[in-house]
């Protein structure tokens, strides 16, 4: 029983990183901009978080600073992709290379040092005493509650229940029509790309302040790419993205449980699970769910810079 | 993530090489098996250049840091000699270039960790006037000696304490790669625990890295979820100590004292100290008496347990220290009958494993699973 509870607890903790980054990417992609810089942003957030708590032992401050760094870098990326309208794919790849490189350089001094302060688990009264899943579900740190309950609810509401969300989706689907309707295309794209980048950096800080918790080069380990893949798999929907992230968290923690329980699978194969899972999740829906493909489709103008004068 | 820097530090190849090399090691108590080579000529201290090559950064508070302490001891003992060092030497042609540069700078002795294999041999072959000391290796030449701390003794000693402290009789071990160091460490640890709890078992998780906090912490969580209450491992960072601290388990560490990262969970650490060995070796080189040897630094003289953690009960510390005294008195815990994990008798009753056999251990004893 402890094993199942432990599995769920680790899955939730591991999935949180992906969920937060994926939610940020949902915002950016719904507005029509592909941000492939998530991996680099997460690295920057991770090193910002650890550097901040080494200086001042407050995880909240570290997380907030990471969000700010993400927002600032995101604004640079948005300037390039939305204002200057450079190629989004290339800008994203550049951001990933730059982010991981800069983080590795700054991180040399912090390598292997455990975070002096981390987000402590908060036990919710009564619920945390439920048998079997109580501890796993309701003794988590504050970010977990935020990422799994508050944020997807807010983003879902914003996207599908408000006028502003309709504008946002319109910008992603058909910027020319949105522009004609008087929706400020560039402004919406600029800010949602920036906020999405802040989420990605926050996910990095979550990694070093709540999950690992310490910095090492390559600590992000491809999670940024997995988050990008999850968004596509989730059909650009916040709740689905969070659930997919949780599924991934489960796959990741299964690898270690498998070794602990002596499953007859080679250790390197078990460590491959998250990446194999990514590939599977990309292929299976295409084959199995032909009918819902329309629902899962990407925003029509995704990845296309919008030029008003070449309509 | 596999970190290339660490990937091959104590390589897989050891597994294959182990059998062949052990012929050369089978003398008992082999501290310093000398080769039949003439010593290199003496060097005046003010002319001497001693070079050190490190696999990691000296700031790592772990493996490379302990070697850097050794270099500083050499610099203090021979203040007129020049000592140079290079950190983060990768496993590539760059390693050969670095060693060759040492030789070109006139190094009389090159001390390096660990396991650079051909990258080092090629340079050593062409620099017969330079003495080389290579950590955790099995190949010797006329100007190339090898050394390693006999970490299995403190692993056994801390295993005794772990046995006393474990309530579930389940231990956990976080291994890097299936290399002799991992086999020896996990086997010795469980043998120590079984000396007080005969039905204790040890579960291993292999994470494919020497330095990967996120894998080691997840492995630690899985081991604790699975019932392990004392963890041990071969990691260059204190990730699993923190997990143990959070989850109310205990942890034995490696390299250095990391108790500040988990004061309640900290049991002890397998400590390394290369200072005296390095100074002795450099002195022999300067005096013209150096010949290559295989040096396994003995217990209490290059490797030992750290001071016990604050939550280690007296009876655990006592039992472990009694074992330590016995080992120092010449007793070996590595005596038959020892079965492997399939139940086959590998060391017959009454037979004692040689230091070389322990150094090259490549099978798990009964009770160890996962390696």
Tens place of pLDDT per residue across chain A (311 aa) = 577 888 888 899 889 999 999 999 999 999 999 999 999 999 999 999 999 999 999 999 999 999 999 999 999 999 999 999 999 999 999 999 999 999 999 988 887 778 888 898 888 888 888 877 787 888 889 999 999 999 999 999 999 999 999 999 999 999 999 999 999 999 999 999 999 999 999 999 999 999 888 888 888 988 999 999 999 888 899 999 999 999 989 988 888 888 888 888 887 788 788 888 888 877 877 777 676 666 778 899 999 999 887 65
Considering only alpha carbons, which residue of chain B is nearest residue A5? B225
Determine contact, residues A216/A6, Cβ cutoff 8 Å.
Answer: no
Considering only alpha carbons, which residue of chain B is nearest residue A258? B222
Considering only alpha carbons, which residue of chain A is nearest residue B175? A267
Mean pLDDT in residue range B109-130: 92
Determine contact, residues B103/B110, Cβ cutoff 8 Å.
Answer: yes
Interior angle at CA B206, CA B152 and CA A54, nearest 5: 90
Residues of B in Cβ contact (< 8 Å) with A111? 57, 59-60
Number of domain units in chain B: 2
Task: Identify whether A310 is part of a domain.
Answer: no
Q: Provide the domain limits for residue A72.
A: 2-115+141-295
- B342 and B215, same structural domain? yes
Q: How many CB atoms lie within 10 A of CB B72?
A: 15
B21, two tokens: 């090399």
Task: Identify whether A122 is part of a domain.
Answer: no
Are residues A257 and B222, on separate chains, in Cβ contact within 8 Å? yes
B12 touches chain A (CB under 8 A): no
Task: Identify whether A259 is part of a domain.
Answer: yes
Best of B57, B203, B213, B266 to substitute, by most chain A Cβ atoms within 10 angstroms, is B213
Task: Identify whether B4 is part of a domain.
Answer: no
Question: Phi then psi for A299, rounded to 5 degrees?
Answer: -55, 140
B335, two tokens: 């005596």
pTM: 0.81
Are residues A114 and B261, on separate chains, in Cβ contact within 8 Å? yes
Are residues A219 and B213, on separate chains, in Cβ contact within 8 Å? yes
ipTM of the complex: 0.75
Q: DSSP secondary-structure letter at B367? A: T
Residues of A with CB under 8 A from a CB of B: 2-3, 5-7, 10, 14, 108-109, 111-114, 207, 211-219, 221, 252-253, 256-257, 259-262, 267-268, 271
- B343 and B219, same structural domain? yes
CA nearest neighbour of B194 among B169, B222, B221: B169
- Domain harbouring B144, CATH code: 3.40.50.2300
Of B61, B226, B236, the CB nearest to A260: B226
- B335 and B217, same structural domain? yes
- B167 and B127, same structural domain? no
B44, two tokens: 């005046």
Of A214, A252, A268, the CB nearest to B213: A214
Mean pLDDT in residue range B109-138: 92
Are residues A2 and B219, on separate chains, in Cβ contact within 8 Å? no
Are residues A112 and B215, on separate chains, in Cβ contact within 8 Å? no
Q: Where are the beta strands (DSSP E) in chain B?
A: 33-34, 49-53, 82-86, 109-112, 131-135, 144-149, 170-175, 201-206, 230-233, 250-255, 266-272, 293-297, 303-305, 338-339, 345-347, 368-369
């Amino acid at each position: 029983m402890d094993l199942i509870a432990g599995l769920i607890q680790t899955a939730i903790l591991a999935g949180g990183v992906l969920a937060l980054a994926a939610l940020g990417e949902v915002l950016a992609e719904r507005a029509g901009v592909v941000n492939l810089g998530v991996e680099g942003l997460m690295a920057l957030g991770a090193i910002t978080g650890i550097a901040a708590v080494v200086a001042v032992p407050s995880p909240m401050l570290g997380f907030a600073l990471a969000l700010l760094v993400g927002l600032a870098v995101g604004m640079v990326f948005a300037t390039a992709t939305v204002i200057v309208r450079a190629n989004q794919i290339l800008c994203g790849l550049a951001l990933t290379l730059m982010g991981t490189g800069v983080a590795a350089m700054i991180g040399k001094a912090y390598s292997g040092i455990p975070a002096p302060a981390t987000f402590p688990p908060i036990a919710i009264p009564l619920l945390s005493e439920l048998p079997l899943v109580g501890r796993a579900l309701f003794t988590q740190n504050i970010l977990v509650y935020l990422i799994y309950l508050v944020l997807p609810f807010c983003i879902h509401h914003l996207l599908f229940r408000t006028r502003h969300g309709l504008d946002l989706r319109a910008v992603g689907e058909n910027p020319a029509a949105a522009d004609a309707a008087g929706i400020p295309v560039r402004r919406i794209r600029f800010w949602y790309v920036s906020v999405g980048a802040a989420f990605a950096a926050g996910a990095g800080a979550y990694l070093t302040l709540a999950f690992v918790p310490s910095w090492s080069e390559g600590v992000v380990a491809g999670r940024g790419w997995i988050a990008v893949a999850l968004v596509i798999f989730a059909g650009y929907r916040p709740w689905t993205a969070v659930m997919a992230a949780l599924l991934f968290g489960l796959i990741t923690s299964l690898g270690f449980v498998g070794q602990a329980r002596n499953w007859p699978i080679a250790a390197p194969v078990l460590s491959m699970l998250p990446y194999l899972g990514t590939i599977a999740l990309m292929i299976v829906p295409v084959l199995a769910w032909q009918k819902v493909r329309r629902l899962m489709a990407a925003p029509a103008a995704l990845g296309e810079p919008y030029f008003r004068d070449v309509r | 993530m596999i970190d290339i820097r660490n990937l091959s530090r104590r390589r897989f190849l050891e597994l294959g090489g182990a059998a062949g090399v052990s012929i050369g090691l089978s003398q008992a108590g082999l501290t310093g098996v000398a080769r039949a080579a003439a010593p290199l000529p003496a060097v005046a201290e003010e002319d001497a250049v001693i070079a050190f090559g490190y696999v990691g950064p000296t700031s790592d508070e772990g493996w490379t840091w302990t070697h850097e302490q050794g270099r500083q001891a050499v610099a203090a003992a021979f203040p007129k000699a020049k000592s140079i060092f290079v950190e983060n030497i990768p496993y590539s042609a760059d390693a050969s270039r670095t060693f060759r540069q040492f030789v070109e700078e006139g190094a009389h002795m090159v001390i390096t960790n660990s396991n650079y294999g051909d990258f080092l041999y090629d340079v050593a072959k062409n620099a017969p006037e330079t003495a080389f000391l290579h950590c955790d290796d099995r190949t010797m030449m006329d100007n190339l000696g090898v050394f390693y701390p006999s970490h299995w003794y403190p692993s056994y000693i801390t295993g005794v304490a772990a046995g006393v402290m474990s309530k579930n009789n389940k231990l956990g071990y976080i291994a890097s790669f299936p290399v002799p160091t991992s086999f020896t460490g996990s086997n010795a640890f469980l043998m120590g625990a079984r000396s007080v709890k005969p039905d204790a078992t040890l579960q291993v998780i292999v994470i494919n890295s020497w330095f990967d906090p996120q894998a080691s912490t997840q492995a630690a969580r899985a081991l604790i979820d699975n019932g392990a209450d004392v963890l041990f491992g071969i990691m260059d960072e204190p990730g699993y100590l923190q997990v143990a601290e959070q989850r109310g388990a205990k942890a034995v560490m490696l390299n250095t004292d990391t108790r500040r990262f988990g004061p309640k969970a900290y049991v002890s650490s397998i400590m390394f100290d290369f200072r005296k060995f390095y100074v002795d070796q450099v002195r022999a080189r300067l005096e013209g008496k150096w010949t290559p040897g295989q040096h396994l630094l003995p217990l209490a003289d290059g490797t030992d347990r750290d001071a016990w953690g604050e939550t280690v009960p007296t009876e655990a510390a006592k039992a472990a220290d009694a074992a330590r005294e016995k080992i120092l008195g010449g007793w070996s815990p590595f005596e038959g009958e020892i079965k492997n994990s399939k139940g086959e008798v590998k060391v017959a009753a009454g037979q004692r494993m040689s230091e070389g056999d322990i150094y090259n251990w490549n099978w798990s004893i009964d009770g160890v699973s996962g390696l």
